[in-house]
A = this chain, B = another copy of it.
Amino acid sequence: MREVTAGVDIGGTNTKFGLVDRDGNVLIQGSISTQNHDTFEDFINDMARAIHEAVGKVGNCELIGIGVGAANGNYYTGTIEHATNLKWKGIIPLAELFKKKLGVPCIVTNDANAAAVGEMVYGAAKGMKDFIVITLGTGLGSGIVCNGQLVNGKHGIAGEVGHTSVNPAGRYCNCGKRGCLETYVSATGIRRTVYKLLADHLEDSVLREISFDNLDTKMITDAALKGDVVAKAAFEYSGRILGMKLAETVVHTDPEAIFLFGGLSLAGDLIFEPTIRHMEENLMPVFRGKIKILPSGLQNQAASILGASSLVWNYLELQTVK
């Protein structure tokens, strides 16, 4: 009987889930509403039922664990803590409830850490011991792996590279500070950059026709590919800031590679070329030419389900080592 793990990605609106085998094949996937459940217990009940049904549909398989990726997910406690994107407030004992319902281990972490473990278990970081995954979505998340292990830190909140400082007097950030990296480099960040450029410069741009709320990364990418001066400048600026800050990150943990995942990273050379150029320019000389900047190996797949499901395989393998 084939062993499978469930990957669950809890978003503010919907929760995606799937069953995944050790090779990273997603055997079945689905989603349920997150926000239509008034209590967390109702949500867990429906989620457990959906997973149970999925196992039945796939057939001839054994569920050996559940991995959950969620904003503010804490690896150590298995809880979600004060998530701003969920209606259930306070500290939610997610792992405990899932374990009780389904009788298998449940591992929880935040989205970026799940992406890093997914990269290691199924993706382009297979066999690497030291690497970093940068997730470029609404914000900028990061998962850091050293000595073959995810770095969770003392309080379970390691890997907040998105909140290193670009400019202490810079753009306002959701975290309460100003000038954090993610206010410049993320889907929201590049949108802010485009608006800053449109405000400061006189050049024509197709982006002048689009409101801030409607502007997305794909529009900026398409405009840049057609030669739009403002869109191209926005990518150069994003790559410069990201490259400069990655040069600082690199000297901490000396990674073999940094993987860029999601959103902005799908713009390809538009973002990779300036990021690599500016990272190399700003790197301490002994690191130059040694650190690869690569696209995630989980792009365009059910990445968040894979990332979450990978937590279980990783957990079981670490248990075996101990």
Task: List, in ascending order, chain B residues with CB within 8 A of A156's CB.
Answer: 254
A253-B252 CB under 8 A given contacts A130-B153, A282-B165, A284-B177: yes
Which residues of B sit under 8 angstroms from A155, Cβ to Cβ? 254, 287, 290
A199: interface (CB < 8 Å) = no
Query: CA of A153 to CA of B160 in the docked complex: distance in angstroms?
Result: 19
Give Cα A175 to B165, complex, Å: 23
**Chain A: number of interface residues, binned into ranges:** 35 or more
Tell me which residues from 159 to 175 in chain A have a Cβ below 8 Å from any Cβ of chain B.
159-161, 163-165, 168, 175
Q: How far is the CB of A247 from chain B (nearest CB, A)?
A: 8
B284 touches A160 (CB 8 A): yes
Give bound CA distance, A287 to B163, whole Å.
11
CB-defined contacts of A163 to chain B, threshold 8 Å: 251, 284
B248 with A152: CB separation less than 8 A: no
| A278, B156: Cα distance in complex, Å | 23
**Cβ of A255 and Cβ of B164 under 8 Å apart?**
no
Tell me which of B146, B244, B254, B286 contacts A149 (CB under 8 A).
Answer: B146
A128: nearest chain-B partner, CB-CB: B154
Nearest B residue to A159 via CB reads B252
A252 touches B254 (CB 8 A): no
* A151 on the B face (CB < 8 A): yes
What residue in chain B is nearest A147 (Cβ atoms)?
B149
